[in-house]
Structure 1
């Protein structure tokens, strides 16, 4: 898994893929894989604010499952999207998500006894890769997508891993730009296969 992630591969369930271009709303987008060099990661001011406003929450990591509770939360969560809306959580996880195709854990976030967010994290020998995150729409104000990502980063460092792969982003502005705000970020050069530190301002590709 470490070698696959390092060469830009991802997976949903048992399907592996990689691509450098996508079409979104009739525009061609340039895809770039991202990873965080964990020894260089540090929290930004805005990320610290996310943690502070969620101090009342409790979280735990456990082997990944495809529970009915998770499936129902996914159906509510996906209503936030207008384009490329997935059918169900099975698109992202295998029938045995804790072990296939590799070890996978889930981050469970609770407000009191209520489960309000979940995220799934694949574990390799030296690195890990974020699979998917979801949360109850009523708690949108909490920035739970960023919150679970920060908890995954913390968990990854505690396990002694070197790299955290948050998934793909685009060189052009997109809803996934929050991933570009992580310190210690690197991007894959598709042509050379080298990972390079992500500049604060990514130049737009020549069309």
Structure 2
């Protein structure tokens, strides 16, 4: 039986090596607010089991469909830099959030805090441009040996480009080139949900709340396209 966890704390600064331990214990954070929980309410009224995920970067390779996403976006320009919020990012986020019908996030700061450059840990941003037009962005934190995806968003009219998958593929490549061991991709659910796309990356592991240990997803939980 999955233990019921619903923990939280606030912290302004966390060293890189401690962030590795925090992520490995199933914690996530939005700005200064750290949290972890094992159950959430489903839309139908039932409960879903939260499943933290991470990718083992040394063994991760891309599927045929993921390589197609990379290939169809080769003409786009990408930049990775220290995280900093500006008007273009906020405007893109406001357009992106119109895709949602419930649990609609208010602002980009909901996920990143008022100034991600000030911590609680190192945060980088990946921006994608079509010519000079910003069409997608993602943010990820970096520890000593691992990184953690925070949030990604894109121009709704460019949805056929699969930009959410594209930015995560670029994050994986960036972290592999940096010699990191893990990329934490956030929470999914044991039951089918909108987060199932996170299970489709090879070398993905999940945290078993019962044992506090990480193990590979089964083939039934992690379909590879």
- Normalized against structure 1, the TM-score is what? 0.96
DSSP-derived class of the 1:168 partner: strand
Bigger Cα displacement from structure 2, 115-124 vs 19-28? 19-28
Residues 124-144 of structure 1: CA distance to partner in whole angstroms, max 9, x if unpaired? 000000000011111011000
Tell me the equivalent position of 2:64: 45
Alignment of 1:86-125 (within 5 A): 86-125=105-144
Residues 1-37 of structure 1: CA distance to partner in whole angstroms, max 9, x if unpaired? 0000000000011100001100121221111000001
Aligned residues: 203
DSSP-derived class of the 2:150 partner: strand
Alignment of 1:1-207 (within 5 A): 1-25=19-43, 26-202=45-221
Counterparts of 2:24 and 2:152 in 1: how far apart (Å)?
22
Bigger Cα displacement from structure 2, 123-132 vs 62-71? 62-71
DSSP-derived class of the 1:98 partner: helix
CA apart distance, 1:122: 0.2
Counterparts of 1:197 and 1:19 in 2: how far apart (Å)?
20
DSSP-derived class of the 2:117 partner: coil
Structure 1 unaligned blocks of 5 or more:
none
CA apart distance, 1:78: 0.4
Report runs of 4+ in structure 1 exceeding 2 Å deviation. none
